[in-house]
DNA sequence: ACTTTAGTTCGATGATCATCGAACTAAGAA
DNA sequence: TTCTTAGTTCGATGATCATCGAACTAAAGT
């Protein structure tokens, strides 16, 4: 049996969700109820700028977050549409 | 901010779901509506016995599947309880 | 013109991953 | 008791991962 193309896509999203730091970033964005800058999010996690940038690129790539750039500042927000299906599963502690 | 223990658990489950072959195994079990042996599942995927065994151990470890052993044969089935929350997300093509 | 601020990109590193074949175990069949 | 069947465990391998600091870019502040 050949690998289903759709499974590859889904697996990709799950891979992005398979890192505790990224899950925490998602929750921070979710709780904020507003756009946050990379710096704001990065501050709360004990991670270097480059690492935070790396993670956000991954989240963006699969459409879990939105990005808005204003001058040199980058505003992050959660893309609710991508989450509504299974958000309760991993945000159930909120 | 310290890493949330619950996020580590969740990330672990997502990691198990982040492989296309494992997703396909899950779907095969789901569609079968009965227990299947490792061999039956492995046959449908072009993977060696050892690789299939490796994947099933991972699925079992996080509780996504159930196991029943009878003599040397191992019967696999999906653990629905673990899935009901977000099953529709990745089985939506069924 | 310099400096600070915000973020990206670039190696490098150590860790984990998926995969295989080969060797092993345990049980049923001949 | 020997042979087959069903699955596990064990290196080995090449790939991807998360992380960092350093160097870079681009814009704003002084």
**A5-80 CATH pick, 1.10.15.40, 1.10.287.1080, 3.90.45.10, 1.10.10.10:** 1.10.10.10
**Coil vs helix vs strand at B62:** coil
Cβ neighbourhood burial of A72 (10 Å; 0-12, 13-18, 19+): exposed
Instruction: For B15-55, write each residue's pLDDT tens digit.
Output: 999 999 999 999 999 989 899 999 999 988 989 999 999 99
Say whether B8 and A20 touch across the interface (CB within 8 A): yes
Which nucleotides in chain C lie closer than 7 A to a protein CB? Answer: 5-11, 17-23, 25-28
The ipTM value here is 0.88
| Distances B89 to A12, A32, B10, B14, B83 between C-alpha atoms, Å | 13, 25, 16, 13, 10
Query: Residue ranges of the domains in chain A?
Result: 5-80
Q: Does any strand C atom come closer than 7 Å to the Cβ of A93?
A: no
Nearest by CB to residue B20, choosing from A3, A85, A88, is A3
Chain A nearest-CA distance from B24, in A, is 7
Name residues whose C-beta falls within 8 Å of residue B29's C-beta, 6 or more positions apart in sequence.
B36, B41, B65, B76, B77, B78
B5-81 topology per CATH: Arc Repressor Mutant, subunit A (1.10.10)
- Sequential pLDDT tens for chain A (94 residues): 778 888 899 899 999 999 999 999 999 999 898 999 999 999 899 899 999 999 999 999 999 999 999 888 999 999 988 877 665 555 554 4
Say whether B44 and A88 touch across the interface (CB within 8 A): no
DSSP-derived secondary structure for A42-78: HHHTT--HHHHHHHHHHHHHTTSEEEEEETTEEEEEE
Contacts of A11 in chain B (CB under 8 A): 17-20, 22-23
First-to-final CA distance of chain B: 41
């Amino acid at each position: 049996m050949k690998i289903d193309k759709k499974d590859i896509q889904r697996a990709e999203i799950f891979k992005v969700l398979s890192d505790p730091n990224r899950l925490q970033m998602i929750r921070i964005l979710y709780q904020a109820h507003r756009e946050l800058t990379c710096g704001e999010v990065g501050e709360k996690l004990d991670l270097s700028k480059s690492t935070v940038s790396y993670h956000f690129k991954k989240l963006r790539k699969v459409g879990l977050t939105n990005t808005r750039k204003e001058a040199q500042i980058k505003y992050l927000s959660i893309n609710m549409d991508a989450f509504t299906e299974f958000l309760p599963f991993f945000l159930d502690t909120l």
